[in-house]
Amino acid sequence: MKFSLNISALLLTCAVMCIIVVSCQHDGSNVGQAERASATMSLQNISPPQAQAGMLMNDAFARAQRQKQHAGSRIRTASLTLEAENARAVLDSVKHIVETLQGSVASESESLSDNSVIIQVTVRLPSEHLETAIERFSAQAVRMVRKSITTEDVGEQIVDLDARLKTKREVETRYRDLLKQAKTVQEILAVEKQLNIMREEVESQQGRLAYLNNRVAKSTINVTITKEQLAANKREDFGKRILSAFVNSWENLQTAIILFINVLPVTLLAGGLCLLVWRLWKKYRIRLQSRIKPVTPNS
């Protein structure tokens, strides 16, 4: 009897232990599912931080401050055409002026046309020196043929880029925080993919913003330098004009002689044929007249 009671107690103990083990496994699976659900929700909630950060861009006060800061952001480009007696000397002066105004030469080209020289040079210098540079360039030439200045307001573009860049940087920070919280390989790869996309967008907008700021800070001047046309159109003195007339007459006479020599064989042949035909026709008329008898009226 005592032996059967011990067996019953042993079986009861084993049953209780089995129930405890099953319960622990069930609780562990629930905990794992809860962790996976939490990680999944973390990945799924990546978009809301971006949306929340996007709302910051629409903040009226912050945007007003940025618009006030970039209100004078304008890109100015000038074109200048100069006439000079010595185009290369003017080019050297332009380079010296640009260097004095803390600018630089972006490009330079030179072309020859008959006896004239055309030089084109593009310079970039601080925007506050634009008018000063144009005045100094013009003073180096005989006259200024053309001048134009174009202005493009990019303040709104800079404000938008600055706001978008700030938003994307905040989203990038959130992605980095999520990357630290990721536990599985799948979660890490998913966050890194989004992080790389956001990093590329940030770098692209940083480059665009830097380009606009550089264009605003430095203006561009396209300068064209040509040989003075007035000097070519000045009236020559009387002696040079007479000498030029003699030279032209002699050249015309040479041309006429050469032309005459070229057509002389044809002229002689045509004249000989005409003379031969005329003589034959004359002899034929004489013979014809001698054969015709004079007609006398009947008495």
- Give residues with Cβ within 8 angstroms of 144, minimum separation 6: 80, 81, 82, 83, 138
pLDDT over 60 at 199, yes or no: yes
Mean pLDDT value across residues 10-16: 52
Predicted local distance difference test score (pLDDT) of residue 36: 40
pLDDT over 50 at 41, yes or no: no
Cα dihedral 60/63/68/70 (nearest 10): -160
Predicted local distance difference test score (pLDDT) of residue 58: 53
What residue has token string 């990945």?
A: 43
* Most confidently predicted of 38-47, 53-62, 91-100: 91-100
Q: Give me the percent of the chain exceeding a pLDDT of 90.
A: 36
Label residue 121 by pLDDT band (50, 70, 90): very high
pLDDT over 50 at 46, yes or no: no
Containing 131, the helix (H) or strand (E) segment is helix 130-139
Distance CA 102, CA 204 (A): 29
Q: Give me the percent of the chain exceeding a pLDDT of 70.
A: 69
Determine the number of helices (DSSP H) and then strands (DSSP E) in the chain. 9, 5
Predicted local distance difference test score (pLDDT) of residue 21: 44
What residue has token string 């634009």?
A: 130
Q: Rounded to 5 degrees, what angle do the CA atoms 93, 98, 101 make?
A: 125
Helix, strand, coil abundance in the chain, percent, nearest 5: 70, 20, 10
pLDDT over 60 at 1, yes or no: no
Which has the higher per-residue pLDDT, 187 or 62? 187
Label residue 282 by pLDDT band (50, 70, 90): confident
Report pLDDT digits (tens) over 221-270.
999 999 865 444 445 566 677 777 778 888 888 888 888 788 778 888 88
Predicted local distance difference test score (pLDDT) of residue 250: 84
Strands 104-113 and 116-126: antiparallel
Q: Is the Cα torsion angle 267, 269, 275, 280 positive or negative in sign?
A: negative
**pTM score of the predicted model:** 0.54
